[in-house]
């Protein structure tokens, strides 16, 4: 069995012409039987038609997820709503299920209507191409500015596999990311919803590339298992197996960040409460000055302290401690000298490392995964629509 295979689930990725050329631009996940489903969606007030449609169907039961890339179907009015519904209807017709059992997702340029003739041809082709070992092909069909597909899997008492896309417009509370996870665990929809929200809070909602939150973001999960639903310790064990899969998919997005060369784990601990920990971590992870220092491998601790200071978190500056890797570079109001800075600089020359700030104000903690800002980020986004 492929490590990325889940019994009873098949995947496809095909070219239907949305992006032009020959690139894959239509993906499909199909469960052989109705599966429990749950989802987490963008908090942007401007939401794409597929978000509206899929958000209304979870938690619940679903048979399929159909996804297109190259066109966001966002800010497209009543026509966009009709097109998203048509995507679900086309998949349902080809699969012999109800449109209510089909979730839809889109990613790409905002504002253009979907070229429905391409989808009317492509969705039946995707159904014909379904393959139990097709997750990698499905992942390739999601890509826009991504440089590589993002696939992760785990095997334990249950099989779990997933794919994601994203490289820019990434920020907690969803971003221009799509995440899809499937499992053969038997989980009731309400329990799956609760577990998935908690997992996403620490994974897909704990990454930031550029502080921008998009219109199309969603992370969906299907659980196909039959029999008595997991409960108690078994449900907790499932959550423990699920979370590392989601975390690695989320980290793969940061590792593939537009223009990024560093992946940095930003942890704020010692906060007075969870809200303060989140605020300070988000401020550091999204600060352009911090992120450019990360790119330049410059241990400019003042930028980190200043970002925390403007976050709204409550703390005394003389209680703060900052580490870059293992190097304590700032301790209770004082820079720790050239030797500490040299050790921090050596850490910053590596592709992945941790930055930790202790506010000395309590016991709350929050971790956000971020990246540096490099010149390629501007180049990619200056002419994205071309």
Rounded distance between C-alpha atoms, residue 136 and residue 142, angstroms? 10
Q: Write down the pLDDT at residue 239.
A: 98
Query: Which tokens belong to 59?
Result: 């938690």
Give the pLDDT mean for 233-241: 98
Q: Write down the pLDDT at residue 1.
A: 38
The structure's pTM equals 0.89
Nearest Cα to Cα of residue 289 among 273, 308, 271, 276: 308
Q: Is the pLDDT of residue 2 over 70?
A: no
Give the pLDDT mean for 51-80: 96
215 vs 49, which has greater pLDDT? 49
What is the SS3 assignment for 115?
A: coil
Asked if 55 and 225 count as a contact pair (C-beta separation under 8 A), the reply is no
Rounded distance between C-alpha atoms, residue 16 and residue 68, angstroms? 9
Rounded distance between C-alpha atoms, residue 117 and residue 358, angstroms? 56
Q: Is the pLDDT of residue 4 over 60?
A: yes
Q: Is the pLDDT of residue 63 over 50?
A: yes
Give the pLDDT mean for 189-208: 95
What is the SS3 assignment for 10?
A: strand
Q: Return the domain boundaries, the chain.
A: 9-255, 263-382
Cα three-residue angle 132-135-141, rounded to 5 degrees: 130
Omega of the bond leading into 184 within 30 degrees of 0 (cis): no
* Residue in the block written with tokens 């997820």: 65
pLDDT tens sequence across 242-261: 999 999 999 999 898 776 78
Q: Write down the pLDDT at residue 190.
A: 98
Class of domain 9-255 (CATH, top level): alpha beta
Q: Is the pLDDT of residue 193 over 70?
A: yes
Asked if 68 and 18 count as a contact pair (C-beta separation under 8 A), the reply is yes
Report how far apart, in Å, the C-alpha atoms of 378 and of each of 169, 252, 372 are.
12, 21, 12
> How is domain 263-382 classified at the CATH fold level?
Ubiquitin-like (UB roll) (3.10.20)
Q: Is the pLDDT of residue 169 over 80?
A: no
Asked if 153 and 4 count as a contact pair (C-beta separation under 8 A), the reply is yes
- Which residues face 155 on adjacent strands? 159
Q: Write down the pLDDT at residue 386.
A: 41
Query: Which tokens belong to 267?
Result: 């942890």
Rounded distance between C-alpha atoms, residue 357 and residue 209, angstroms? 19
* Residue in the block written with tokens 């992946």: 263
Mean pLDDT over all residues of the chain?
Answer: 92
pLDDT tens sequence across 296-323: 999 999 999 999 999 999 999 999 999 9
- Which residues face 328 on adjacent strands? 323
Rounded distance between C-alpha atoms, residue 315 and residue 304, angstroms? 14
Q: Write down the pLDDT at residue 21.
A: 80
As annotated, the active-site residues are: 176
Q: Is the pLDDT of residue 377 over 80?
A: no
Q: Write down the pLDDT at residue 136.
A: 97
Using only the alpha carbons of the chain, give its radius of gyration: 21
What is the SS3 assignment for 272?
A: coil
* Residue in the block written with tokens 């490392």: 353
Q: How many residues would you count in the chain? A: 386
pLDDT tier at 373 (50, 70, 90 boundaries)?
Answer: confident
Q: Is the pLDDT of residue 150 over 90?
A: yes
């Amino acid at each position: 069995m492929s490590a990325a295979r889940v019994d009873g689930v098949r995947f496809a990725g095909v070219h239907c012409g949305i992006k032009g050329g020959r690139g894959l631009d239509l993906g499909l996940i199909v469960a052989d039987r109705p599966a429990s489903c749950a989802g987490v969606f963008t908090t942007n007030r401007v939401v794409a038609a597929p978000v509206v449609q899929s958000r209304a169907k979870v938690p619940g039961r679903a048979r399929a997820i159909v996804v297109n890339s190259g066109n966001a179907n966002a800010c497209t009015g009543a026509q966009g709503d009709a097109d998203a519904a048509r995507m679900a209807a086309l998949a349902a017709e080809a699969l012999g299920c109800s449109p209510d059992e089909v979730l839809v997702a889109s990613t790409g340029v905002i504002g253009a209507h979907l070229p429905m003739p391409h989808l009317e041809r492509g969705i039946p082709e995707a159904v014909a191409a379904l393959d139990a070992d097709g997750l990698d092909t499905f992942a390739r069909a999601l890509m826009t500015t991504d440089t590589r597909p993002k696939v992760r899997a785990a095997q334990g008492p249950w099989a779990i596999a997933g794919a994601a896309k994203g490289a820019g417009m990434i920020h907690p509370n969803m971003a221009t990311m799509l995440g899809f996870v499937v499992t053969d665990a038997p989980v009731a929809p309400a329990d799956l919803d609760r577990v998935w929200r908690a997992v996403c809070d620490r994974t897909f909602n704990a990454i930031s590339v550029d502080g921008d939150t998009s219109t199309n973001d969603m992370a969906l999960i299907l659980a196909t298992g039959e029999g008595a639903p997991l409960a108690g310790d078994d449900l907790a064990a499932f959550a423990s197996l699920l979370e590392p899969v989601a975390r690695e998919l989320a980290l793969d997005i940061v590792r593939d960040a537009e223009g990024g060369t560093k992946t940095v784990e930003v942890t704020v601990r010692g906060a007075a409460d969870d809200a303060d920990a989140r605020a300070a971590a988000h401020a550091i992870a999204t600060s352009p000055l911090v992120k450019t220092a990360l790119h330049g491998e410059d241990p400019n601790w003042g930028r980190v302290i200043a970002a925390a200071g403007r976050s709204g978190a409550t703390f005394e500056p003389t209680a703060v401690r900052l580490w870059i890797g293992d190097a304590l570079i700032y301790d209770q109001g004082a820079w720790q000298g050239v030797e500490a800075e040299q050790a921090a600089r050596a850490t910053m020359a590596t592709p992945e490392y941790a930055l930790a700030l202790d506010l000395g104000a309590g016991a709350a903690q929050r971790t956000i995964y971020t990246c540096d800002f490099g010149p390629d980020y501007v180049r990619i986004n200056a002419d994205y629509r071309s």
